[in-house]
Amino acid sequence: MFMNKIIDSFWNYLNGLPYLRSLFELQDRFSVEIFIVGGIIRDFLLNRVEHKNTVEIDFAVSGETKDIAKLFAYQIKGFFFVLDEENHTYRVILEKEKLYQFDFSSLRGSRIEEDLYLRDFTINSLAIDLKGIRDKRFFRVIDPYGGFKDIENKTIRIVSDLSLKDDPLRIIRAFTFFQELEFRIDSFTENSIKENIYFLKNVAGERITEQFVRIFESPFSYKAVDYMDRLGVFEAIFPIVKEMKGVEQGPYHHLDVWKHSLETLKELEIFLKQLYTHDSLGEKIKNYLEEKITGTRKRLFVVKLGALFHDLGKPRAKEITPEGKIRFIGHEKIGANLVIQIVERLKLSSREKNILTKLVQLHLRPGYLVDTKDISPRAKLRFFRAGEEESVSIILISLADKFATRGPLTTVNDRNEFKEYLLHLLKVYFYEKDLVKPPRLLDGNEVMKILNIPPGPIVGKILKALEEAQVEKKVINKSEAEEFIKEIFEEMREDE
């Protein structure tokens, strides 16, 4: 079945790709072998190529790799990049109706079979000789390690017992393919993951983050994250996870701290699926989470990290009272300080760091509003003022946190009431902008001039008090604002 599909459809597809024919002349000029390898063959077999906005083709070249890549870039008017000079790996990018990414690497070994043996998984250890695209009589897929069969059986299997040791990042890539392709990881590969997991500590954070981003892109990434955790991957990447495991909580909880954190990610993804079908609110939340924060990395990636690590500080905050009550006072502040360990391991940007810190530090705030029954405009304003742009992310994590807390002292009714109020807060954020950030009637300079005071913290306090008066409809216009700040200033002076 696969071979017939390759001979007919795949040959036609490759011949229809623009720019590929530019390599024919270069192959003749340099008298080298050029092979198409890896992902594009796998993805074509799985009917995934046509649905992508990016065309990615990897080439293995028997010699003169850099010169060929540079000349290819010149011929197609693309951009040439060096990926790894030491290992002779180069990239050519061209943006037209689609984004075209061509990666060139030197053939490892004297034959293509030797090169394929050094790749990660059998499903990626496939190759096509470029000569076969020029002449269909020679078109065939080189499959020395059973990649066809594993694709047909939806199986992720390492090529050899050295595959993961040669590059431990492949451990995480196994779960990336598990998530993206919905394949199973075979037992031989599972055992190799366990045997080589120690070497993950040597993998650069940027490379790990790239895989996590791909996993978290899935609406149900919990499945892969939970699988990774069961094989010890998370603890190997983030040693602090060990502190979270086995830390029992009070009767509001049914899971220990780490299992609760995993459950929070799961509940977040369930809730987002529900929200995305929620008319215009779902669309607004989806657009909000799709915002690019660093490069191509989206806010959703950081929010999912926030769900996983929102209780990072609980193990160090835990105390048991003389009455036997378990408490975690201040765990959100402790956790915010520990976030740096996650940030540094993944080499996150300063903006991602600030967002993740805020999510951990403020994840309890929506719950405080519900618990105190304070739904006044002033209380909402104070929450949105603290959360700023991340208010929606904080609400989402808080909601997921609540639904991941199902101990004997909780009820379905409590969770549903909590959900209704937090849905209300989400609607306020997107539809009642004057309540989230009231229009400024006076600025700091005007406050100082009217009150005849120098710059200082008191100016900020007065402006915050004015905002609260606005949302409570005590102040409507500029003249009322001027009278209000005079009154509040006198009160502050009397309180000193």
pLDDT attached to residue 4:
59
User: For 365, what's the count of Cα atoms within 13 Å in the CB-facing half-sphere?
Assistant: 25
For CATH 3.30.460.10, list the domain ranges present in the chain.
2-152
pLDDT attached to residue 140:
84
pLDDT attached to residue 449:
87
Overall pTM > 0.85: yes
pLDDT attached to residue 358:
97
pLDDT attached to residue 390:
96
- pLDDT tens readout for residues 192-204: 999 999 999 999 9
**Alpha helices in 77-182, H assignment, sequence order:** 112-117, 130-134, 147-152, 163-166, 169-181
What is the DSSP track for 279-330?
HHHHHHHHHHHT-EEETTEEHHHHHHHHHHHTTTTHHHH-EE-TT--EE-TT
Residue ranges in the chain whose pLDDT is less than 50:
2
CA angle 236, 239, 242 (to 5 degrees): 100
Answer yes or no: are the C-beta atoms of 273 and 323 closer than 8 Å. no
Q: Is residue 36 classed exposed, middle or buried when 0-12, 13-18 and 19+ CB atoms within 10 A define those classes?
A: buried
Q: What is the CATH number of domain 154-237?
A: 1.10.110.30
- CA distances from residue 134 to 14, 28, 185 in whole angstroms, order as listed: 10, 12, 36
Answer yes or no: are the C-beta atoms of 39 and 77 closer than 8 Å. no
Q: Collapsing DSSP states into helix, strand and coil, what is residue 37?
A: strand
pLDDT attached to residue 481:
83
pLDDT attached to residue 433:
82
- The domain defined by 2-152 folds into Beta Polymerase; domain 2 (3.30.460)
H-run or E-run covering 383: helix 377-387
Alpha-carbon distance of 32 to 26, in angstroms, equals: 9
pLDDT attached to residue 302:
97
pLDDT attached to residue 279:
78
Which two three-digit tokens encode residue 260? 């609760």
pLDDT attached to residue 136:
79
pLDDT attached to residue 453:
87
H-run or E-run covering 435: helix 433-436
How do strand 155-156 and strand 184-185 relate by DSSP bridges?
parallel
pLDDT attached to residue 469:
85
For CATH 1.10.110.30, list the domain ranges present in the chain.
154-237
Instruction: Of 118, 131, 119, give the one whose Cα is nearest residue 36.
Output: 131
